[in-house]
Chains A and B, each alone.
Chain A
Amino acid sequence: MQPPPSLDLETVQEMPERRRAGEPIKLVGIGEQALRKGRARLALTGVVFGLAFAVLAVRLGDLAWPNGDGEARPGTAAAAISDTLERGDIVDRNGTLVASNLSTVSLYADARLIDDAAAVAAKLVRIMPDLDEAAMRARLTSGRAFVWIKRNLTPAEQFAVNRLGIPGLDFQEAQRRIYPQGPLLAHVLGFTDIDNGGIAGLERSLDTRLRTRRDGPVELSIDLRVQHAVRDVLAASMARYKALGAAGLVLDATTGEVVSMVSLPDFDPNDAGTASDDARFNRITLGVYELGSVFKAFTVAMALDTGTVDMRGGYDATHPIKVARFTIRDDHPKARWLSVPEIFKYSSNIGAAKMAMDVGTPRVRQFLARLGMLTRPDFELPETGAPLAPSPWRDINTMTVAFGHGLAVSPLQLASGMSALVNGGTLARPTLIKQKTQPRADRVISKRTSRAMRGLLRLVVADGTGKQADVPGYLVGGKTGTAEKAKHGGYARKALISSFVAAFPIKQPRYVVYALLDEPRGIEETHGFRSAGWNAAPTAGRIIARIAPLLGVRPEFAPPPESEGRMAVAMQKGTKLASF
């Protein structure tokens, strides 16, 4: 502590006789000492007070300054409803809500406070008739502090229970997952358990994303309008052909986005507990089938791409092929030499088998692997089935796989592979999530082969088994496939999987459409036939007619100009022009 500077001790001297005005009083002796002490104490006190006030001033400034630890909190974001939801929303590609969380109240009871359990149970059942009165009475007499009465009450029920005024009954607010679109997206979305945990479909595979991230809803690649149109047409076809089930898939040919995915029968994810196993089964991704002749598209593409045969080449399909105990024969035998387009158009098993054998087993396997036919597809749904490939793979397997038997793949794999055949030869991973940019796509066949395949697929619809899939205005190309279901170690002759894979507009395909009917029956309208050309092909045609305007695909009614739209197809006699 310093002595106060204002004190001038040197001026304190002997007291003079007379003091001039203004001069400091000078004391001597004891007086002088007391004065010194007093001044020193005063200075000390002044310093202490000065310091205290300095501290106060600093603290005051600190409090007043806005970014201190005071109460001011500039820049806090306003609370958002999405922060209060336990699970994020899911919307379709146009932003329509397809899954969300809503707050609901659930009724519970403190059984210790319930006096007359029988009367309370009776009153509750009168309000909520779906409750089991006996079970309710048992629960209310259990003496436990917490028993559920009913989850997710309607506001009217809540009001009625409140009006009873029974002590011991109370409400708990909880969130419930709702699916406003009902069964429309059942197999895509899946469902959640009672505690809002995803247990099927995207709800399961995106569980962490939906629980933790709050940066907007998950955007699906699905277009709800298309989804409904596909489901509507499939349901009508399923009823018309008395099929056990039906499935449809619409794939963006270049991005791999799934625009629509329907599997019938389906279920309501709002009430998934009551759904049967058959309804929960996703025929598009989980079901693997030997899809039959649609596979010939891959056989022809691989033969053309590897160069073992060209469009003007062909094979002799006069006699069935006998290998070991199997005989490969044609369903509609022409019993003559067939050109490559003819083999495809008439769906010749013999021709396809010979074509594949020329390519050779290792290259066939390599090609199918490149198209993703031999491995479980990398897809967002947990319900994605692995293909069943022959093991060991002998030459006979190469022959049967050439016309779609012996290798079971999911419709998703088939449509995805088909998109690569028609889109110019690149394969993109199929996805259920809306893609903002063109995703990575690997080249699997040459552009030239892809162009040839488009011509061949158009040929089938213009002048082959797929005639009924034609839609005026949209040049559709496609391939039928009728396969017998593998049952009890053999094939069931009457239980068929009939399917049609189509691409449109075939000049530059934007979408691949796949339609499948599970065990369709022959009806009067189809003259008793149950093959794909009679049921799956017209179904695919109706789907295209319905969805193409929705998807903004411009129809073309004038015949395409000679130079770009026509393909010379070598036929046995002379040259035939197949327009596409």
Chain B
Amino acid sequence: MIARLTWALGAVALALPVGLYGLEHRVSALEDDVVRFEGMLLDEQSQAHVLRAEWAHLNQPRRLQELILRHEAVLGLEPITPAQVARIADLPARLQDEPSLPVPARNPFRPVGLTTVADQ
């Protein structure tokens, strides 16, 4: 009886340190990960922070306005006028019978000579 208890305790005494050592090893590895990830997080955050500042700088309304005026010919953007503001409810009612749009028999934009399964 005593002998068996001694063997069992001995086994526990051997297993415990081994298990604990393994656990501690895993924990310290995880903690290293945490430190590394926190560092990465901080790096990312600081980069995001710089980018946010840059975004704000590049989106200065004055700068955007200058760009829009410089490329007026292409963009044709103008400040919104009061006449352009409306509510959905103010829109005229939709026509009941919408005239059906003529649909081309073949896709007119497809290069000549190209056929697909649908054409056959």
Contact = CB atoms under 8 A, between A and B. Distances in A.
Please indicate whether A and B come from the same complex rather than being unrelated chains.
yes
Contacts, number: 86
Interface string A83-104: 0100000000000111010110
B1 interface: no
A81 B45 contact: yes
Nearest to A97: B56
A128 interface: no
A170 interface: no
Nearest to A231: B62
Given A79-B41, A81-B42, A102-B53, A472 B65 contact: no
A555 B42 contact: no
A79 B80 contact: no
B60 A79 contact: no
A97 B51 CA distance: 11
A452 to B, nearest CB: 27
B120 interface: no
Given A548-B82, A555-B82, A178 B61 contact: no
B50 interface: yes
Given A79-B41, A546-B79, A554 B61 contact: no
Interface string B28-46: 1001000001100110011
Interface in A62-92: 64, 71-72, 78-81, 84
Contacts of A80: 42, 45
Contact of B53 (A60, A97, A229): A97
Nearest to B28: A71
B42 A98 contact: no
A71 B31 contact: yes
Given A180-B60, A554-B85, A81 B79 contact: no
Contact of B60 (A182, A229, A471, A473): A182
B87 interface: yes
A412 interface: no
Nearest to A72: B27
B71 interface: no
Nearest to A473: B82
A472 B27 contact: no
A81 B38 contact: no
Nearest to A552: B85
Nearest to B61: A228
Contacts of A344: none
A549 B85 contact: yes
A72 B49 CA distance: 31
A546 B31 CA distance: 56
B75 interface: no
B61 A180 contact: no
B62 A228 contact: yes
A184 B61 contact: yes
B62 A81 contact: no
Interface residues of B, number: 33
Which of B52, B55, B83, B85 counts the most chain A CB atoms within 10 A? B85
A103 B48 CA distance: 13
A225 interface: yes
Contacts of A555: 82-83, 85
Contacts of A231: 62
Interface in A218-253: 224-225, 227-229, 231-232
A34 to B, nearest CB: 26
A269 to B, nearest CB: 13
Nearest to B44: A81
A205 interface: no
A97 B85 contact: no
Which of B42, B49, B57 counts the most chain A CB atoms within 10 A? B49
A546 B80 CA distance: 7
Contacts of B38: 78-79
B82 A472 contact: yes
A184 B62 contact: yes
Contacts of A78: 37-38, 41
B79 A180 contact: no
B73 interface: no
B2 to A, nearest CB: 12
Given A184-B62, A228-B61, A471 B82 contact: yes
A224 B42 contact: no
A230 to B, nearest CB: 11
A180 B58 CA distance: 8
B84 interface: yes
Contacts of B83: 472-473, 555, 557
Interface in A170-198: 178, 180-182, 184
The 5 closest A-B pairs by CB, nearest first: A228-B61, A473-B82, A81-B45, A180-B56, A180-B57
Interface of A: 60, 64, 71-72, 78-81, 84, 96-98, 100, 102-103, 178, 180-182, 184, 224-225, 227-229, 231-232, 471-474, 545-546, 548-550, 554-555, 557
Given A100-B53, A224-B61, A232-B62, 19 more contacts: A60-B16, A71-B27, A80-B42, A80-B45, A96-B59, A97-B53, A97-B56, A100-B49, A102-B53, A180-B54, A180-B57, A181-B57, A184-B61, A184-B62, A228-B60, A229-B79, A549-B81, A550-B80, A554-B87
15 contacts: A71-B28, A71-B31, A80-B42, A80-B45, A81-B45, A81-B48, A97-B53, A102-B49, A180-B53, A180-B57, A225-B61, A228-B62, A232-B65, A471-B82, A473-B83
